[in-house]
Chains A and B, each alone.
Chain A
Amino acid sequence: MTVAAVEAVDVSRTYELDGVSVSALRGVSLTIDQGEYVAVIGPSGSGKSTLMHLLGGLDRPTGGRLVIGGRDVASLTAPELATLRNETIGFVFQAFHLLARTSAVDNVALPLVYRGVGARQRRERAAAMLGRVGLGHRLHHRPNQLSGGEQQRVAIARALVTEPAVLLADEPTGNLDSATGEAVLELLERLNAESGVALVMVTHDQEVAARAHRRIAVRDGLIRSDTRHDRPGSAGSGAPATLDPAPSAEPRSASGSGPGHPPGGSGGAAGATGRLPRTGAGGAG
């Protein structure tokens, strides 16, 4: 709780498409602290992925201030930002994004290549990491020789092999059946608890979101609610949240920092009333 892993202050992201500008994020403030377990929910097209890309330094905000690992993104060149991603962030994508012609262990070792780690050490660390995600027996399999769940485990190992401060998972179970998805989820939660990496996960599943320590609801490019639970699934403010997504949640910029105060309280409440749809039925997308 000392230094924030990622801090966003009134961050916005606008895309220019043929002269038309689309505001994917319209002033978002939040702080991700070390070791947190955060669920990001919201309808399709609400800006969740955009937010994840920004938090991971994969993209730059068009407005506001974004600080990753204590460094202001605006002050970094492209290679510096790449190095920062390598050192601080691990990404897990819905589509796995493994290199097809490359073995599991070499896929996992890839981030270490760009960190300049020697080949032998790379393999050792990658193999060890694969062991931690339960794939110690699949080191030399290629992605097409692995099941979907295994592929996503490889991707998780790749995200964590650099021992990042933050693990950003954008719908990590979106391409998996529910049983496999649950196993992957448990793995992510275990790794979060064991290694202290902050886990920020986009999900459509209310039950999953309820297991997180903190839940951020995004809608129309704004944070509608940001609620913490002392313990996942326990009583207190956490309990009602599982039933009704944040009706009375105090919309706040994460650690209560003042400036980029995002949505008005009433708007947030209105936006969040009713069950959040699993898919984009009610969203912009």
Chain B
Amino acid sequence: MSNIDAGNQVSEHDLSLIEEEERAEKRRRWLLLLLLLLLALLACVLLLFIRYLRQPEPLPEMIPLPVDVNYPPHYLFSIYGVDKPVGVAYSLRNDRIYVAETGGKRLVKIFDRDGNPLGSFAPPRTMPGERSPVYLAVDGAGRVFVTDRLQHAIFVYDENGTFLDTILGPDLTLSEYVLKHVNNLRPDATFAYNQFEHVVYYKSPGEPERTLPTPEPAMWAPLGIRFDRTGRLLFTDVRQERNAVYLISADAFSPSSWRNFDPPVISFGSTGQGDGQFLFPNSAVADSQGRIYVTDGNNGRISVWDEKGQFLFHFGGGSGEGALSLPRGAAIDERDRLYVVDAVGQNVKVYDVSGPEPDFLFAFGDWGMGDGQFNYPNDIALDRYGRLYIADRENNRIQVWSY
């Protein structure tokens, strides 16, 4: 008995020794693991720190967190120093923001992402009361396309605002027009045209300025303008006779074609309130499937078309959640969320359009003059870091929101 007891005692003692050793071993392993983990974390932090030093940015933009599509953004800050802005665009090429003003001198102003002013520009030879930049779009090369409601034209500038050319109609550019009339024009010749003066100006370096009669005015009134992901240009035409959307293929904008501008154009829509009709369409954007969403301003709705220009359906009219008052500028993000600025609704309404039917997700903003409040907002642009830029017209600022 006692032997057995003793034996038991011994084995119990041994057991507890072994157990203790095992526990110690475990603890060591844990500690080692912890140490490794801590080291890894330190490495991460160091890496992030180094990245931060090279490109200072807030944390959420450095680590793209997976975001639920139904997660509204928050207000970050505002860019001031703009007079009644109605259009805003973002350049992927150089992370710049371009803003079109309808007040004051009516310039297009350039800012960096943090709102530092970088310059401004306007169509050559125009007075403020003769020009009205409204919407803008930036192409892959960084060129800025600006629709002008008073000039009935699309002005094209380089990324710094140097005037390049004017699109005077769906098949006519100013350079093309001048070339048609002037033989061996030097490539560095400059030209200008103001609809309210009745001449076209051109000048070769070292020579006096000369003039030409004005071109036949085109029957169009371009307003909303956007490039889609594939580089096609989408613009809206608000001519009374025929409100429509135009689609111009990407290759039309290669430098060589400027002086022989006659791109294939798809256009769709007409004036009115029925299906497939528009009243003052303010912008047209395409989703990842190629479907086109048109903000049908005075009809208070979004109309949806397939990539060939066949009318599909419209939504956002009527009343209730997600109903629009006066839809204007729009944008689509890479998750196929459609952002629509509602000028009279005084907010931005967001729809998930990835499925067959659009889903209203949420709206952000409300009327007012404080941070995150709007006073007749008109346009929106998205950057690649999850920021949103909204032209807040009567508050004379661009609001920057972020996820």
Partners in one complex: no
